[in-house]
Structure 1
Amino acid sequence: MKRIAVVVILAGMLAACQTSEPGLEPIPGSITYGGQPTQRLQKSPVGSILPHTFTDRWGERVRETYIVQPDRSLKLVDRVYLDNPFD
C-alpha cells in the first residue's frame, strides 16, 4: 500500500513539473515519436511513471519520463541528456 502511495505522489510531482517545459515534443527514439504506440498499456495503472532510455541520432544518451494517462496513452513529461557534462 505504501508503494502505491509513493507512486501517486511521484506522479503528481511529475505532473506539476510538466509546466516547466511546455510543448516538450518527441524526438526520434522517443516512444511517442510518430504517434502513440499501437499497443496500449492495459495493465499499467493510470498515473504510472514509465522511464525510457535510448541513444538519439547524434549518439547522445537520453532518458525520457512518461506518465500513463486515463486513456492509456503516454504523456512525455521530462527529457534529460545523460552524456551532457553541463547538466
Structure 2
Amino acid sequence: MKHALLAVLFALSACASAGDPQPLPGSLTYGEKVIRSPYRPGTVVKNTFLGDFGYRVFETYVVQRDGTLKLTSQSTGPDFLWQ
C-alpha cells in the first residue's frame, strides 16, 4: 500500500511539471517574492527545502539580467536513504 501511494504521488508530480515549474511554499520566489541576486546574469542558483509529506524539494534558478531569479527546474525526492 505504501509503495502504491508513492507511485501515485510521483505520477501526479510528473503531470504537474508539464509546464513551467511553479513556486511552492519554501521556494525562494513563493508568493510573488522578488529576490535580487548579487551574482552575474546566467548564474545557476540551487535551493533545497523540505516539502509536503517529508519529501525534499530540489530547485534550480537562473539569475536574470535585472538580478531577479527565474525558477527553471523543480524535482522531489525522499529525505532519507533506504538501507
TM-score (norm 2): 0.66
Which consecutive unaligned segments of at least 5 residues does structure 2 have?
Answer: 1-16
Larger Rg belongs to: 2
Aligned residues: 64
Partner of 1:15: none
Percent identity reads 38
Partner of 1:22: 19
User: Which of 36, 56, 77 is the equivalent residue of 1:40?
Assistant: 36
Which consecutive unaligned segments of at least 5 residues does structure 1 have?
Answer: 1-19
**Structure that is richer in strand per residue:** 2
TM-score (norm 1): 0.63
Aligned-pair RMSD on alpha carbons?
2.3
The CA deviation at 1:21 is 4.4
